[in-house]
Structure 1
Amino acid sequence: MGPGAAPKNPSRGEEPPQGGDAEQQEETDAGGGGGSRGPEEGGDGVLTYCCEGHPEEVYAALRGLRECSLLTDLTLILGGRGAAGVGGATLRVHSPVLAAVSSLVRDALETRTRHHRAEPGAGGVRSWSLSLGPEVDPGGLQAVLDFAYSGDTACLEGGTVARVRAAADALGVPRVLDLCAREGEIQKKQGEEGEEERRRRRAAEQMKASLRCVAELWEEGVGCDVVLDVDGTAVQAHRALLAASSDYFRGMFTCGMRESRQHRVSLPGLPPSELLPLVAFSYRGALPLGWAGVFELACAAHRLQFAGALALCTDFMRREMTAATCLDVASFAGAYGAARLLADADDFVLRNFPEVAAAPAFPDLPPDRLLAYLGSDALVVPSELCAFRAAAAWVLADPERRLAAAPALMRQVRFPLMTFREFQEEFSAELPEARRRLRRPEDALVLVGGDLLGWGAAQRELSRELWFSHALRSGTGLLKDVEWRRLGALPDGPRFRHAVGVVRGRLHVVGGCDFYAPDDTMKSAYSYDPELDRWRRLADMQEARSSFSVVVGDDDLLYALGGDRQINTNVASVEVYDQQADSWSYARPLDQPLSGHASVHLSGDQVLITGGFDPQYRCLTSTLLYRPGRGTTRLADMAHERAQHVMEALRDGRGRCRRLYVAGGVRNLRAFYGDQLACEAYDFQAGGGCGGGGGTWSAFAPLPVAHVGAAAAVLEGRLYVLGGLSQEDFRETGLVHRYDGATGRWQSMGRMPGAVTDVRACLLRLPGRLRR
C-alpha cells in the first residue's frame, strides 16, 4: 500500500502506512520534496522531474479557496470577543495547512484521525473545531495564519510582535517564533536594496517546508477527508490539496456536485498507476517519468486538469526526446493541441532526420507529416539523397496503399541539390534560393568583438561589432554556409581577448584588451538584454584580465578564471560576479597562474579547465577540476599540449555534460609555437557524473586548417569552431568549421562576417523583431 492509500479494514489488524516508509519513499521519488532542481536519476530509465514553483502555486490556490470559504474544514474559536476584520469570534481554515506549521493543530488532527479509524464505517475526518485560549489575540492569530498560507508575515511592525509571539506559542508554531526572535534584524533590513527579493525567496522556502509537512500528513493518512476509488484501489487525500493542484477536483469538490458530499469518490477508467503519481504530485510537485508511461500519465493529467503535472510530462518529452520517441511526441502534441511541444518535436525531427528515418516508428508517419518534413527548408540532411531514400522507404513499407502518394513526396525532394555522382545527371550549380535548405535555429550563434589582422599582421583593425547567425544554408551536395547579420556594437568601443557568458538570456561581456600596449588590458564588464536591445554597465572586476575564461554556474554566478594581467604576466586569481549585488569578489585561486586556457562549467560548483600557458608560457596538457570552495584537482592529462584553444560541452536534454570537445590552439616547438590541429574528446566515466568520477581522453578527426585564438559554440549538438589564425604564417583563418559527431567529420560552413581572431562566441535567444 503506497503513500496516500487508504488504510484497510482495521478489524483485519492491518495498519496504515507508517512515517518511516513514507519518508523513505519521498526520498526516492522526489528527493525530499519538490524544489528547484533538475531531474534525478531513477531505476529503469525513470527520472524524477520537479516543478520549481509548485509550493507557491499550491499555496496561492489555497489562499484563494480560503478567501471564498471553500473546503475550509477547521473552525478556530477565539477565547476573547473577536475583532472586526477576522470574522468575529471564529476563523475558518484548512486543517492540513495549519497542521503543517502548528504542533497543536497537528496533534489534534492526529487524535481525530485515530478516533475515526477506530469507528467502523466512519465517514472520514470532516468539519471540526478547535477552541483557543484568551491569550490568543485576533491580530496575532491572523499573523500566524498569514504565515501558514504565504510563508511570510507582514505584521511584525508597530508593537505587534508580542501578540504574534503569544499566538505562535499557544499554537506551537516554532518558525513564527523564530521570526519574532529575529524581528530587530528584519526591521533593520526593511528598505534595503534587494531585500524585497530576499524576502520573497525566504517566503518561498517556508512554503516549500510547509508543503513537505503536508506531504507527511498525507503519507501517514492524517486528516485525509476523501478516498479516491480507482479500479479497486483506494487512495486517500486532502480535498483542499487536490483542489489546489487540479481544476477537475476543484470543480468536483466546490461546485455542488454529488461527489462534494461523498467521502468515497469513484474514478472509473483510470488505473492506479496513473492516479497515484498525480495525487503525489499535489503534495511533492514531482513526478517519476519514463518513456514507458509518460504518454498515459500526460493523458491522465490532461483529463484531471493537473496543469503542473502536465507541464512536467511535456517538459520530460521535450528534454529527453530521441530519434526513437520524437514522432510519438509529435503525435501526442498534435492530438492535444500542444503547439509549442509540437514545434519542438518537429524541430527535432528536422535536425535529426537521418536518425529519425531509421527509427521503427518512421514507417507509421502520416503522409501529411512526411510531406511537411520533406518540404521544409529547415530539413538537415548530409545530402539530399538521404531525403530521397527516406521517402522511398516510407512508400515501400506499404506500396499498395502508398504508391499514390509517391509523386507528391518526390516533388518535395530537391533533386538539384544532389551531386553528379549521387544523381548521375548534370545539374547547374547555381540554384534559385527557393531550392535551398534554409534552417533558422531558435538559438542564434552570436560573435562579439575580435581582431582583424590583415596580411602578415601589417594591418590590424579591432572590432566592436556583434554578429549573429540568422540561418544555416545548404546548397548543392555538401556545400553549406551561415547567413550572418549584424546585431549591434559594444557600448564602450572595440575589445579582443575578452570573455563572454550568458546568464538568464542576457549576454555578459567582460575584460579583454582595447589596444595592443601592455596597459590596454581592461577590467570593465557589460550585459546586453536582447529583449530590450539595451546594454548595461556592470561593476568592474577587481583585476584587469585578457586571454582568460568565464563560466556561468548553476547559481547564475559568473566566474572569471586566470588570464593575463599584462602581456606575459598571467595570474592565478579567480573572481565571482554576484548579479544581485552587482559586485565582484575573489574566490579560491587556481593552483598556478594560467592564461590562454579553456573552461567549461560542468554541474554544481565544478569547472573543468584544460591546457593554457603556465607562468613560463609553455603550453600545457593539464586537465583540472576547479571548485571555488575547494581549489584544484588534477585529472587525466590530454594527449597533446595546447593553449589559445577552444573547449565546448556536448550536453543532454537536461543540461548535463555528456562529452567535452577540445580543438585548435598552439603547441610547443623548440623555439616557437606551432599550430595544433589534433582534436580530443573527454568522456565522463559511467556513473561518475560530470567530473566527479573522472574520465578519459580520446582523439577525433583533426581540424582541416589551423584555428588559433578562435571562437566556439555547440549549436544543435554540433561543434562550431569559428575563425582564428595560423601561428606558423600569421594568416587569418576566417573560416567556420562544424564537427558532426554522428559522421565523425568536419564540415566547412563558410566564412566569418567581420573580425576573425580573438573573437568570442555564445548562443543567445533573440526576439523575432531583431531577427526580422
Structure 2
Amino acid sequence: MYHKRFVAALLAAALAVPTGVAHAHPGHGGPATEAPAVNPLYGNGWQRLAPIAGGPRQEHSVAAIGKHVYVIGGIRPDGNGGFVTVPDVEVYDTIRNTWRHAAPLPVPMNHPNAVAVGGKLYVLGGLSGGASWQALRDSFVYNPVTDRWTALPPMPVGIERGSAAMGAFGRRIYLAGGMRTLTPGPGGLQDTVASVHSYDVLTRRWTTLPDLPEARDHVGGAVVGRTFYVLGGRDRGQVNVRDTTYAMDLPSGKWTERAPMPTPRGGIAAAAVGSKIYTFGGEGKIVNGANTVFSETEAYDVRSDRWEKLAPMPIPRHGTAAIAVGGTIYIPGGGNLGGGAPLDVHDAFRAK
C-alpha cells in the first residue's frame, strides 16, 4: 500500500500536480495498526486529559500563552491510508480541560519551529510537501488577542529547516539543528543539520551562532537560565538515535557537553520546569528488528548535571511535543508506533 502511495506522489510531482498530501518518511507509511494500551497505567504524576478535539495529530509543535496550550500544524490521517500536512491550530484551556480552534497557519506545516515570546506565537519555518518534505522559509507571528497570523520576513536562504531544537531568552529565539529534507521511501534522504541561529523578535534580524558539536534533528530543546540545552535526537534516520546533552552558554555562544541521557532517543518531547528538563517518549527503539516507540520519562537537572528516571508514559509516543504551564507538562498527540501513527491522546505530567 505504501509503495502505491509513494509512486502516486512521485507521478503527481513529475506532472506538477499539487496533491496537498505530505506523505511521511520511511516508516511513516500508513495509519496505526495497533491501538493504544487498553488499560494504560496513570498515576505517579500522570493524568489523562480531554483528547485533541480535532482528532489525531503528529509531528506538530506546541507552545503556551498564559494558561492556554497551542497545538500547531503537524500531520493527520488523510482517510486514504496516508497523511496530510495541516495548518490547524487548536488551543487547550488548562483550567477548563476544553479545546477550541484558533486561526490556522497561513501555510500547512509539519515539524514547525514554534515558540512563544512576549505573549505571541512565532513559527519560523518547518517542513511540508508531497513526494518529499522540504524545509520552508515561511515565518509568521500570531496574536491571540486578534486571533490573526501575520507574515514575517522569511528565513534567510540556506538556514531554513524543520524539527529544530527551540528555546527563547529575552527577545531572542534560538534554533539548533533540524532537517532540510525528509524524503519518503527506502533510503530516502534525511538531511540533518548542525547549524544554530537566533532571531530577534524586535529587529527581525537573524544571527548565525556556533554550530552544534554534531548534527541533530527530532531533538529536545530548552533554555534554563542563560543556557540553551539540546538533548538527544537523531542524525539522518529514525534509528540513528543519540544520548548527547549539549549546552550553549548564551552570552558567549560556547557549546559544552554535559551528562548523557540514560536512554538514547530521537523524536522526543521536552519541557523545562525550574532547574530540570523533562524528556518524554521517542522513536528508534529496535525490538525484533522493528522500529518502535519509547515509553521513557527522564529528567535532567541542570544544576547537578544528573539524569533521573521517572514514571514511564502511560501511552508511549513519539513525534509529539511538550510544554509546561506552572508545574504541569502537557503532551498532546504523537504516534504510538514507529513512523506515522497519529493519536488524539492528551496527557499531563506533574513535575517534581
Shorter-chain TM-score: which interval?
0.7 to 0.9
Q: Gapped runs of 5+ residues in structure 1?
A: 1-453, 471-481, 652-657, 686-693
Displacement of 1:632: 2.0
* Alignment partner, residue 741 of structure 1: 302
Measured against aligned partners, the alpha-carbon deviations of 1:124-173 in whole angstroms (never above 9, x if no partner) come to xxxxxxxxxxxxxxxxxxxxxxxxxxxxxxxxxxxxxxxxxxxxxxxxxx
1:560 aligned to which of 108, 119, 123: 123
SS of the counterpart of 1:593? Answer: coil
- 2:266 counterpart (704, 708, 725): 708
2:115 is equivalent to residue 538 of structure 1: no
CA distance in 2, matches of 1:712, 1:577: 23
Contact between 2:239 and 2:283, CA under 8 Å: does it hold in 1?
no
Change (3 A) 1:766 1:609: closer
Q: 1:663 aligns with which of 221, 231, 234?
A: 231
Kept in 1, the 8 Å contact 2:49–2:97? The answer is no
Which protein has greater RCO, CA pairs closer than 8 Å, 6+ apart? 2
Structure in which a larger fraction of residues adopt helix: 1
How big is the shift at 1:743? 3.0
> Paired residue for 1:494?
56
Q: Distance in 1 between matches of 2:295 and 2:325?
A: 22
> Is 2:153 the counterpart of 1:582?
no
Could you say if the C-alpha distance between residues 494 and 662 of structure 1 is closer, same or farther in structure 2, counting changes exceeding 3 Å? same
For residues 13-43 of structure 1, give each alpha carbon's deviation from its aligned partner in whole angstroms, at most 9, with x where no partner exists: xxxxxxxxxxxxxxxxxxxxxxxxxxxxxxx
CA distance in 1, matches of 2:108, 2:325: 26
Amino acid at match of 2:71: V
8 Å CA contact retained: 1:568, 1:617: no
The answer to whether the Cα contact below 8 Å between 1:674 and 1:727 also exists between their aligned partners in 2 is: no
Q: 1:731 to 1:531 in 2, by over 3 A?
A: closer
Does the 8 Å contact 2:294/2:316 carry over to 1? no
Residue of structure 1 in register with 2:336 after alignment? none
Higher strand residue share: 2
Distance 2:204 2:105 in 1: 22
Judged with a 3 Å threshold, the aligned counterparts in structure 2 of structure 1 residues 766 and 637 are, in CA distance, closer, same or farther, namely closer
TM-score normalised by structure 1 residue count? 0.34
CA deviations on 1:626-649 (whole Å, 9 max, x unpaired) are: 235433211111111111101111
Q: Is the 8 A contact 2:50 2:98 kept in 1?
A: no
Q: Does the C-alpha gap of structure 1 residues 461 and 589 become closer, same or farther in structure 2, counting only changes over 3 Å?
A: farther
The 8 Å contact of residues 282 and 317 in structure 2, kept in 1 or not, is answered as yes
Is it true that 1:645 corresponds to 2:219 in the alignment?
yes
Please point out which of 631, 646, 659 is paired with 2:205: 631
Give the aligned partner of residue 504 of structure 1.
Answer: 66
RMSD between superposed Cα atoms in Å:
3.0
Contact 1:707-1:721 at 8 Å conserved across structures:
no
Alpha-carbon distance between aligned partners in 1 of 2:72 and 2:143, rounded to the nearest angstrom: 14
Check conservation: 1:525, 1:541, Cα contact below 8 A.
yes
Deviation at 1:462, TM superposition (A): 8.1
Q: Secondary structure at the match of 1:509?
A: strand
Contact 2:217 2:235 in 1 (8 A): yes
1:461–1:526 distance in 2 versus 1, CA, 3 Å: farther
The question of whether the paired residues in 2 share the 8 Å contact of 1:524 and 1:541 is answered with: yes
SS at match of 2:283: coil
Shift of 1:708: 0.8
Deviations along 1:417-468, one digit per CA (max 9) or x if unpaired, are xxxxxxxxxxxxxxxxxxxxxxxxxxxxxxxxxxxxx9xx9954588xxx9x
Equivalent residues, number: 282
CA contact (8 A) 1:522 1:544 kept: yes
C-alpha separation between the residues in 1 aligned to 2:231 and 2:33? 25
Q: 1:521 aligns to what?
A: 85
C-alpha separation between the residues in 2 aligned to 1:716 and 1:618?
34
Name the counterpart of 1:695: 253
2:103 is aligned with what amino acid? A
Residues 723-734 of structure 1 mapped to structure 2, 5 A cutoff: 723-726=281-284, 730-734=291-295
Instruction: Supply the AA of the counterpart residue of 1:664.
Output: G
Which residue type is aligned with residue 561 of structure 1? Answer: L
Distance 1:576 1:716 in 2: 27
1:332-358 CA-to-partner distances (Å, cap 9, x unmatched) read xxxxxxxxxxxxxxxxxxxxxxxxxxx
Hey, what's the Cα distance between the residues in 2 that align with 1:705 and 1:534? Answer: 34
Aligned equivalents of 1:514 and 1:619: distance in 2?
23
Structure 1 residue runs of 4+, over 6 Å off? none
Q: Distance in 2 between matches of 1:601 and 1:706?
A: 25
After superposition, residues 85-96 of structure 1 pair within 5 angstroms as none
User: What amino acid is the match of 1:725?
Assistant: E
Report the CA distance between 1:518 and its aligned residue.
Answer: 6.5
- Matched-pair contact (CA < 8 Å) for 1:500–1:762: yes
